[in-house]
């Protein structure tokens, strides 16, 4: 059964890992705004040319353009539904997404928050960096405790209002993001299979 969901959680919470599993096991399509913008930039479409022009100037792409990209994808459809990744990030974007889904006769079936312990996340990132160094592999720029702490603060500042917004609508479901990957996947499956 087709489901449209939003995965919320701070950087390092495992959203990407869980989204990949949902794509593989349920035929869902992951709509990552970053990926969509990069693809649009090279697509040659009118919208793509507008995206390229804005990004080449180093400016931020407007919500209207991102909604336009999402609308294109929704029109193409997905057998298992869509995973919104990196969007919405603000209340204005959440309203715009809700209005778009209404126009398309679709619903938002769940907003799943991967609840994590921030200190444990920072430790996880530091361990990942140490393991990369020990293996002689390059350390990702984000795998730095200070950079990561800054990204966490930014996430909570911008995204925290969405938690209250979706909670008030009865859409928010919380999953323990600190559990093992399989346990998190099982908890997400339980949310999706309910109702």
Give the mean model confidence (pLDDT) for residues 144-162. 85
Query: What mean pLDDT comes out for the span 154-183?
Result: 92
3-state secondary structure 79-137: CCCEEEECCCCCHHHHHHHHHHHHHCCCCCCEEEEEECCHHHHHHHHHHHHHHHHHCCC
- Quick check: 24 pLDDT over 90? yes
Active site residue 38: no
Given 3, 15, 26, 124, the catalytic residue: 15
Active site residue 140: yes
Q: Which residue has the higher pLDDT, 1 or 184?
A: 184
**Sequence-separated (6 or more) residues with CB below 8 Å from residue 121:** 10, 11, 12, 13, 148, 152
pLDDT recorded at residue 88: 92
Q: Judge whether 89 counts as a catalytic residue.
A: yes
- Percentage of residues in the chain with pLDDT exceeding 70? 99
Q: Which of 26, 92, 124, 151 is catalytic?
A: 151
pLDDT in tens, 81-99: 999 987 898 899 999 999 9
User: Hey, what are 111's tokens?
Assistant: 């907003």
Length of the chain as a residue count:
195
This model's pTM is above 0.95:
no
**Band of the pLDDT at 114, cuts 50, 70, 90?**
very high
Predicted pLDDT of residue 36? 86
Rounded Cα gap, residues 189 and 180, in angstroms: 14
d(CA 12, CA 122): 9
Q: Single out the catalytic residue among 38, 73, 103, 140.
A: 140
Whether 128 is a known active-site residue: answer yes
């Amino acid at each position: 059964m087709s489901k449209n969901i939003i995965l919320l959680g701070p950087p390092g919470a495992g959203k990407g890992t869980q989204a990949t599993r949902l794509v593989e096991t349920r035929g869902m399509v992951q709509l990552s705004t970053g990926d969509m913008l990069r693809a649009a930039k090279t697509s040659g479409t009118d919208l793509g040319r507008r995206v390229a022009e804005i990004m080449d100037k180093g400016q931020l792409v407007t919500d209207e353009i991102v909604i336009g990209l999402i609308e294109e994808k929704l029109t193409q459809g997905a057998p298992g539904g869509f995973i919104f990744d990196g969007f919405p990030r603000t209340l204005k974007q959440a309203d715009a997404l809700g209005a778009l889904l209404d126009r398309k006769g679709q619903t938002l079936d769940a907003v799943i928050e991967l609840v994590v312990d921030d200190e444990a996340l920072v430790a996880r990132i530091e361990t990942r960096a140490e393991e990369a160094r020990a293996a002689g592999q390059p350390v990702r720029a984000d795998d730095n405790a200070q950079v990561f702490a800054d990204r966490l603060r930014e996430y909570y500042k911008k995204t925290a209002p969405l938690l209250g917004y979706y909670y008030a609508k009865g859409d928010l479901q919380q999953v323990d993001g600190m559990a093992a990957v399989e346990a998190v996947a099982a908890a997400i499956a339980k949310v999706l299979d309910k109702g």
